[in-house]
Amino acid sequence: MYPLSSIFAFWKAPFSGDVTQNIEPRLFSNDIAGDPATESYIHAHVASYGTQLDAIMGALLELAPETKDSQPGLRKLQALSERIDTAKKDLHLAAATLALDRLKAADPEGYASCLRARMPPD
C-alpha cells in the first residue's frame, strides 16, 4: 500500500506550482503591423518595448530645445522620464538590499567578503 503523501507528489493544488508565463505581444494586441514572428523575436531577443521606448524618449529629450516656454507635452515627457529613472533606481536598490540581507543571513563570512571587495581602499 502506498502512503498518502505519495499521491500528493503527482497532484498540485492551484497556485502551488510554477505559475510564470510568457507574455506574448499578440495576446494583447492584434494590430501588429509587421510579421508577428519577427516582432516576437525582436521583443524577446533584441529590445523589449520598454527598451525601445526608452531610446525614443532619450532621443526626443536630446533633440528638444531647453527653453523656459517648453511645450506641455515635452514637460510631461521629461517628468515621466525622471519618474521612470527613479523607479529603476529604487527597484535596483531594493533588489540589492534584499540580496545582501539574504547573503548576510546565509553566509556572514561571504557577506563580509562581498562588502570588503566593494569598499574603496583607504
| Secondary structure in 3-state letters for 36-74 | HHHHHHHHHHHCCHHHHHHHHHHHHHHHCCCCCCCCHHH
Q: What are phi and psi for residue 104, nearest 5 degrees?
A: -60, -40
Structure confidence by residue, pLDDT tens digits, 18-64: 656 665 655 555 666 677 778 778 888 898 888 899 999 989 888 87
Measured between alpha carbons, how far is 48 from 25 in angstroms, rounded to an integer?
10
For position 122, what pLDDT does the model report? 73
For position 72, what pLDDT does the model report? 83
For position 31, what pLDDT does the model report? 60
For position 6, what pLDDT does the model report? 58
Measured in whole angstroms, the distance separating CA 90 from the mean position of its chain's CA atoms is 12
| Grid cell digits, residue 20 | 510564470
pTM: 0.57
Measured between alpha carbons, how far is 72 from 79 in angstroms, rounded to an integer?
11
Contact 8, 16 (CB under 8 A): no
Measured in whole angstroms, the distance separating CA 119 from the mean position of its chain's CA atoms is 27
> If pLDDT is split at 50, 70 and 90, which confidence band does 89 have?
very high
